[in-house]
Chains A and B, each alone.
Chain A
Amino acid sequence: MNRIDARFAQLKSASRKALVPFISAGDPSPDGVVALLHALTESGADLIEIGVPFSDPMADGPVIQHASERALAKGVGLAQIFGWIAEFRKTDTTTPIVLMGYLNPVEIHGYERFAHDAVGAGVDGVLLVDCPLEESQAVGAIEAAGMRRIFLTAPTTSAARLAAMCEKARGFLYHVAFAGITGANRLSLDAVRERVAAIKARTATPVAVGFGVRDADSAAAIARFADAVVIGSALVETLAGAGSAQAACDAARAFLAPIRAALDAGSAAHAA
């Protein structure tokens, strides 16, 4: 069974919500990535999104742009990222990993080769920001290899498209909370709640919400109606301030712990 599906099934039966941290691969330090992944799972991550740095991240705000620039300056690319994931998988065989990135690095790597290498390393899902539903070339190879292709839904997505996505969705759907770039602060809970309800009315596939989730309060508020919360820029910014690989692990723990606690308190209250 795909690890994403297994993890969401397990969470559902435990009435828990998924905490999904996003890190930008190779930032703050390429040497510390594997330890950082373990630190994330130890502090309550249910699934990890790893951003593949790209030179032209059109959908990202300054925090993730700068993280990508730093990693690229250190030569980080897909080959290394696959190596880190394979290393992580030696001791963690259950935490799902989703690669998130832009199409060109995948296109240049080659779709078949990308799918083969990713599965070999232990990747479970792929989210290509600039590759919409209609572009099937990438999907074919990713799904044939047993990974999940994760779709984004947005506040602007039309009802007809949403229906098509819900039909094709596997793993989980990632709802972008507002029209904007990563790291912006434009969260409107009511609008997101309405959207997530509309998605859930159409599919049993779990729904994650990302963009604008920054801390325990915003995470807990989202988790009241979504299955998973994705925390990206706020974490990346915290990690960027860490002076060493060890400090980054400590910072990740300190950052995630209250968020995990808030999510669990929310589920407990709900169950009671």
Chain B
Amino acid sequence: MTIDYSHYPDSHGRFGDYGGIYVAETLIEPLAELTAAYTRLRDDPAFIAELDHDLKHYVGRPSPIYHAQRLSKKIGGAQILLKREDLNHTGAHKINNTVGQALVARHMGKTRIIAETGAGQHGVASATVAARLGLECVVYMGATDIERQKINVYRMKLLGAQVVPVTSGSKTLKDALNEAMRDWVTNVADTFYIIGTVAGPHPYPMMVRDFNAVVGREARAQMQSEYGRLPDALVACVGGGSNAIGLFHAFLNDADVRIVGAEAAGEGIATGHHAASLAAGRPGVLHGNRTYVLCDDNGQITQTHSVSAGLDYPGVGPEHAFLKDTGRAQYVGITDDEALAAFHELALSEGILAALESSHAVAQGIKLARGMEKDKLILVNLSGRGDKDVHTIAAREGLSL
């Protein structure tokens, strides 16, 4: 039986066995209100026009597809094409989602925005849209991430947001998400929680996907008009999975297009120091949904590691869990070293500094290209630019700037 992937999630927010709504009772009603507001707005021509206008004039869409010819030639295999989400305003795909959710927040009459952030890209994208709409903005960020993403912390402050360090648990993205949920449950009357990835309880995995799905819709049309065909393979990095599902979604029913997600294998999956929830985790419940999680035999969520803060997350969006189980997508690990090598390779051969997160996708694209014919096309989602990571990279290479 072929699955029509455009029909997910169902009305309970389920993607097969995954997704759903696993939250404390206090949040059930606010989530129902959000679902009602969002499902009304997404079919409202005025809302769609407003969103399209912002995506074009504020975000700078459409983002181009760039043929990385020198890189492809060096590899000697399939052609690598890059979907340039790094060229968006604020430098990553994250803005696609925050522009959309901020509009929903405004329509719901909320005056205060909260967000969690790992790498700081989603925090910056949230602070950006909050500034533009004149909304108060509070961003929760793990103390460890604040240390390794100083530039983004300062960007958020310049944009008028308050950055709250989270010192509980592992002091990274998952703990920031916990803290943002605690804020939301406390201030639910006036506050809109902009989740930054396709995780959390329904409707977030669906709503965040929908707002990022512009990437794949655009790419599908660009491939047809510029190359006369669809790509042979898609590659994207997977932290929570928003840039990946954003690219993949419009192609899920194109059975001939191979789909590969690159997770953070950190120091190697065998070392235990990684964040590869799909490749090495098991089904569980975290942050409001059932999905693959990294946890021990007592069900305690385990510490993750990745050189890229944006991939350092022990869960993953439920739709990816579903795509893994159905076999429609394949998820593989890319180590810190492989990602760094790809970062340098892309910088020197194409003049593009990619985010460390996106460098995982580039590394996987290079791997795939090696085993494919020269006339094949691989479309890699270049989810963000690397300016925020130069300090991390310098430090790893023993330099201080």
How near does chain B come to A109, taking the closest CB pair, in angstroms? 7
Residues of A within 8 Å of B168, CB to CB, are: 62, 65, 69
Bitwise, A64-101 to B at CB < 8 A (1) or not (0) is: 01000100100001100000000000000000000000
State A159–B5 Cα separation when bound (angstroms): 35
Contact digits for A221-236, partner B, Cβ 8 Å, 1 yes 0 no: 0000000000000000
Does B141 interact with chain A (Cβ within 8 Å)? Answer: no
A103 within 8 A of B: yes
**Which A residues are CB-close (under 8 A) to B293?**
104
* Inter-chain contact B174/A156, CB cutoff 8 Å: no
Chain A residue numbers with a CB within 8 Å of B76 are: none
Main secondary structure of the interface of B (DSSP, over half): mixed
User: Beyond A156-B188, A157-B29, is A58–B287 a contact (Cβ under 8 Å)?
Assistant: yes
A180 to chain B: which residues have CB within 8 Å? 26, 185-186
Identify the closest chain B residue to A130 (Cβ): B22
Cα A155 to Cα B174 with chains together (Å)? 27
Q: Which of B245-298 contact A (CB under 8 A)?
A: 282-288, 290, 293, 295, 297-298
B24→A154 contact, CB < 8 A: yes
Closest B residue to A80 by beta carbon equals B298
Least CB separation from B186: chain A residue: A180
CA distance A156 to B184 in the complex (A): 13
Instruction: Decide yes or no whether B150 CB sits under 8 A from chain A.
Output: no
Assuming the A-B contacts A56-B178, A103-B285, A104-B284, are A132 and B23 also in contact, with contact meaning beta carbons closer than 8 angstroms in the complex? yes
Q: Is A161 an interface residue (CB 8 A)?
A: yes
Interface residues on B, range: 35 or more
Q: Which residues of chain B from 140 to 193 have any CB-CB distance to chain A below 8 Å in the complex?
A: 168-169, 174-175, 178, 181-182, 185-186, 188-189
B225 within 8 A of A: no
Contacts of A61 on B, CB cut-off 8 Å? Answer: 182
Tell me which of B285, B290, B297, B298 has the highest count of chain A C-beta atoms within 10 A of its own C-beta: B298
Which of B25, B169, B282, B301 is in CB contact (< 8 Å) with A132?
A: B25
- Contact between chains at B178 and A154 (CB < 8 Å): no
| CB contact between A104 and one of B23, B182, B285 (< 8 Å): that residue | B285
User: In the complex, what residues of B have CB within 8 A of residue A158's CB?
Assistant: 29, 32
User: A43 CB to closest chain B CB, in angstroms?
Assistant: 29
Interface check A107, CB cutoff 8 A: yes
Point out the residues of chain B lying under 8 angstroms from A135, CB to CB. 20, 22
- Chain A residue numbers with a CB within 8 Å of B298 are 77-78, 105, 108-109
Q: Is B398 an interface residue, CB under 8 A from the partner? A: no
Q: A139 within 8 Å of B by Cβ?
A: no
Complex interface: chain B residues within 8 A of A192 (CB): none
Which residue of chain A is the closest to B21 with respect to CB atoms? Answer: A132
Q: CA separation between A62 and B293, bound complex, in Å? A: 24
Top-6 shortest CB links A-B: A105-B299, A108-B299, A77-B298, A154-B26, A152-B25, A156-B29
Query: Chain B interface (Cβ within 8 Å of chain A)?
Result: 12, 20-30, 32, 168-169, 174-175, 178, 181-182, 185-186, 188-189, 282-288, 290, 293, 295, 297-301
Interface CB pairs A-B, < 8 A, 23:
A56-B178, A58-B178, A58-B287, A102-B285, A104-B284, A104-B286, A104-B293, A104-B299, A104-B301, A108-B295, A108-B298, A130-B22, A131-B22, A134-B21, A152-B24, A154-B26, A157-B28, A157-B29, A161-B29, A176-B25, A179-B26, A180-B185, A181-B185
If A104-B300, A105-B298 are given as contacts, then 18 extra A-B residue pairs at C-beta distance below 8 Å, sorted by A number, are A55-B301, A58-B23, A58-B287, A59-B24, A61-B182, A69-B168, A103-B22, A107-B285, A108-B298, A109-B299, A130-B22, A130-B23, A134-B21, A151-B25, A156-B25, A156-B29, A176-B25, A181-B186
